[in-house]
Structure 1
Amino acid sequence: MDVLVGYATAHGSTRTIAARMASVLSRAGLTVEARPMEDVEDADAYGAFVLGSAVHGQSWLRPARRFVRDNLDVLGRRPVWIFSVGMPAALRGPWRRLAPRELPAVERGLPSNLGHRDHRLFSGTVGRDQLSRSGRVFFRLVGGRFGDYRDWAAGIAGELRPAP
């Protein structure tokens, strides 16, 4: 089965997470391709999808939302997992406890009939250069910490792997 690990990235964290997921799925015996969703010409060529995007303002990036909207007929007939990349691990205290609420907010921005099997929130990297001066000040005031918080969990391979 050909699997697309499609992504939309702003600063590269989502691309790196997608590549790592593709590697894990490939080691599980699947034929996998990781690529930006905006570069996918024929979604119908894939048998399953793992789609993810960086999250800005509790929403996927425009190329990811467009891919889902434009390919909803194909996605509706195939297994789909989605992931979002934000900064929950970079936050502390009450802000970190609010992070799981971001998933429902992100999903509200996607078509309601996208039948995905699971939605995971991963932490990406948060660098000083990614934020404006006022953004850096606010980030530090709420207890944010700059750094690389990518985690590499993926529980998808077992569901897609063909039975022996």
Structure 2
Amino acid sequence: MTVLVGYASQHGSTREIAQRIAARLRERGHTVDVRSLGEAPALGGYEAAVLGSAVHSGSWLPDASDYVRAATAPDGRMPVWAFSVGLARVVGGWFEKYAQESEEVARLRETTDLREHRLLKGALSPEHLPLFGRAAYRIMGEVRRLP
């Protein structure tokens, strides 16, 4: 089976996850093409797709959102698996549920044969945050260290 593993990543962790998924698929005998969704790879020629994006403010990155809207059509159903990468999985609760049901995942449910969606833990480096975010990050770290 020929599989597209497409990703949208801002700082690289989603790309790394896509590469790990591709490696596992190759171990199982599949032909895999790992591509940035910003390159808008055509779905023609693939028998299945695994699509993923970093999640910011409850939504996939624009490259992934644009790709889902443009490349998925009800008449061209194919098996699709999806993954979202973000801090919601780390924080849990309402944040995790909110990320599970993003607009993009709902669109995939409507326009493809979405087999499964997984929310994965993202990586956070303080240097990726604005000044206020860095302060909050530091405070949260201090709170977690309290007995």
CA–CA distance in structure 1, aligned partners of residues 126 and 81 of structure 2: 31
Give the deviation of 1:89 after TM superposition. Answer: 5.3
**2:116 maps to what in 1?**
118
Partner of 1:20: 20
One-letter code of the match for 2:47?
G
Overall identity of the aligned pairs, in %: 40
Higher relative contact order (CA 8 A, sep 6+): 1
Q: CA deviation at 1:75?
A: 8.4
Please give the secondary structure, in 1, of the residue aligned with 2:65: helix
TM-score normalised according to structure 1 size: 0.75
Count of residues in correspondence between the two structures: 140
Q: Secondary structure at the match of 2:78?
A: coil
Letter in 1 for 2:136: F
* Distance across 1 between alignment mates of 2:135 and 2:83: 28
Provide the C-alpha distance between the structure 2 equivalents of 1:73 and 1:21, rounded to a whole number of angstroms.
Answer: 24
Q: Which has the higher helix share?
A: 2
Cα 1:76–1:37, aligned 2, differ >3 Å: closer, same or farther?
same
Are positions 1:103 and 2:99 aligned together? yes
Whole-Å separation in 2 of the counterparts to 1:32 and 1:20: 11
In the alignment, structure 2 segments of 5+ residues that lack a partner are 143-147
Q: Is the 8 A contact 1:90 1:144 kept in 2?
A: no
Mapped partners of 2:5, 2:61: distance in 1? 16
User: 2: distance between equivalents of 1:117 and 1:137?
Assistant: 40
Q: Is the 8 A contact 1:3 1:46 kept in 2?
A: yes
Residue 39 (structure 1) shift: 1.5
Amino acid at match of 1:118: E
Quote the offset at 1:3 in angstroms. Answer: 0.2
Measured against aligned partners, the alpha-carbon deviations of 1:67-97 in whole angstroms (never above 9, x if no partner) come to 1111112784110011000014544xxxx33
CA–CA separation in structure 2 for the residues paired with 1:110 and 1:68? 10
Larger CA deviation: 16-25 vs 79-88: 79-88
* Preserved contact between residue 59 and residue 105 of structure 1 (Cα < 8 Å): no
Aligned in 2, Cα 1:76/1:137: closer, same or farther, shift over 3 Å?
farther
TM-score scaled by length of structure 2: 0.83
